[in-house]
Amino acid sequence: MGQSATELRYEIESSRANLGETLDAIGDRLSPGRRIERRRNRMRAGMDRFRDRVMGTASGARDRVTAPAHAAMDVGGEGVSSATDMVRDAPDMLRERTQGSPLAVGFVAAGLGFLAASLLPTSEKEEQLEGELLEKAEPLKQELSDAGREAMEHLKEPARQAAEQVKVSVEERAATVSGQAKDAAADVAGHAQP
């Protein structure tokens, strides 16, 4: 049967409302301001992901700090397998602890700055100033080179000590695991005899 006038009005109003919402959504989608805002949000999210990948996240730093402590506390009972896993995973742990270096961010930023500067044309005045600056910078360059070598010499010993500490720690944990394995084998052998 046919629809009543009231039902038709309701259906028309409903269709108008849906059409109005659709047109508003299309207008919002095509609005230059909203497009710029969405693009800005995508760029910000990309930069955040890049920063987290280079600098690391707070939870990642916390995990890298607390994981060895938890593993060291877990040396009894099931800790034997945990300790052997820790000895096996020592190279990966070292790699994870060095991830997220702020120096890498500095190098990337400097590289981007140099790239941007290289894209701009130079003027005569800049070329003149460049020549003067290079003449004045030569002694500074030598001083920085000497300071870099000196800093490298000062860092060699702490790096060697840190590597030695890691080696000693791994050897101690391996000895602990070996001792616990022998004790467990002795317990099993003791229980096996009548």
139 within a domain of the structure (yes/no): no
Number of domains the chain is built from: 1
- What pLDDT does 180 receive? 85
User: DSSP of 112-160, one letter per residue?
Assistant: HHHHHHHHSPPPHHHHHHHHHHHHHHHHHHHHHHHHHHHHHHHHHHHHH
Has residue 46 been placed in a domain?
A: yes
Position 91 in a domain: no
Asked if residues 69 and 119 have their Cβ atoms less than 8 Å apart, the reply is no
pLDDT attached to residue 112: 79
Q: Identify the CA nearest to 24 among candidates 38, 11, 34.
A: 34
Please report, as a single letter, which amino acid is at residue 58: A
Residue 78 domain-assigned (yes or no): no
175 within some domain? no
Q: Is residue 36 part of a domain?
A: yes
Q: Helix-strand-coil percent breakdown of the chain, rounded to 5? A: 90, 0, 10
State which residues form the domain around 22. 7-72
Q: Which two tokens stand for residue 107?
A: 């190098």
Per-residue model confidence as pLDDT tens digits over 162-194: 888 888 888 888 888 888 888 888 877 777 665
Cα–Cα dist 126/117, whole Å: 12
For residue 95, pLDDT over 60 is answered with no
178 located within any domain: no
Q: pTM score, two decimals?
A: 0.27
pLDDT score of 154: 80
The pLDDT of residue 37 is above 70: yes
Residue 99 lies in a domain: no
